[in-house]
């Protein structure tokens, strides 16, 4: 399921988060951090493993995914690939207790939006991280939508231009035929050609 489109309604713009974390202590820290923010977060849904995460992602629309890289049965990066395959395109924030250069490179290749080290105070900055990621993603979507609208407008203009060129060519051909008819003094034919010209312009 795709992310919801932001609108003018503040409630519609409130952030919906899917948190994939199996450790109850870390679930509580994430919940506490977001609760302290008060406004701005519409929903925080927790999933304990990849199966739950995929089910929730198919059932509901989320603005951002906050995922631990070590979850039962798989890795967070593998879950990202699975979610993309079922059409989930929300930005992805990866949490890890043991970062490494290889993991950073792998996350970058999979276009992870943000990378969070789970140190003793990691949860304090989570709301700001999530806001930043969602704001960037919404801006990207707005720009993408504007670009698509521009491309559709250009396509319509090209079609109109082609139509006008076609009519111009038809009128030119009719004018040439009218001149030939005048040379032969075929006045009735000229009148008919003029009617044809009027039909093309219309």
Q: What is the mean pLDDT of residues 2-22?
A: 70
pLDDT band with cut points at 50, 70 and 90 for residue 8: very low
> Pick the residue with more confidence: 196 or 22?
22
Q: What is the mean pLDDT of residues 31-45?
A: 84
Confidence (pLDDT) at 190: 66
Comparing C-alpha atoms, which of 146, 109, 108, 114 is closest to residue 17? 114
> pTM above the 0.75 mark?
no
CA distances to 54, 101, 157 from 58, in Å: 6, 32, 39
């Amino acid at each position: 399921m795709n992310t919801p489109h932001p609108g003018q309604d503040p409630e519609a713009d409130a952030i919906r988060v899917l948190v994939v974390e199996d450790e109850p202590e870390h679930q509580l820290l994430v919940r506490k951090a977001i609760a302290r923010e008060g406004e701005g977060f519409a929903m925080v849904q927790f999933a304990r493993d990849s199966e739950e995460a995929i089910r929730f992602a198919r059932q509901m629309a989320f603005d951002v995914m906050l995922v631990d890289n070590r979850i039962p049965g798989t890795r967070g990066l593998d879950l990202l690939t699975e979610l993309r395959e079922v059409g989930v395109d929300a930005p992805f924030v990866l949490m890890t207790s043991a970062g490494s250069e290889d993991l950073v490179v792998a996350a970058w290749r999979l276009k992870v939006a943000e990378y969070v080290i789970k140190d003793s105070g990691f949860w304090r900055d989570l709301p700001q991280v999530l806001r930043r990621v969602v704001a960037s993603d919404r801006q990207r979507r707005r720009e993408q939508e504007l670009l698509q609208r521009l491309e559709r407008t250009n396509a319509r203009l090209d079609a109109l231009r082609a139509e006008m060129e076609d009519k111009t060519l038809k009128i030119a051909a009719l004018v040439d035929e009218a001149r030939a008819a005048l040379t032969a003094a075929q006045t009735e034919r000229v009148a008919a050609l003029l009617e044809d010209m009027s039909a093309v312009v219309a």
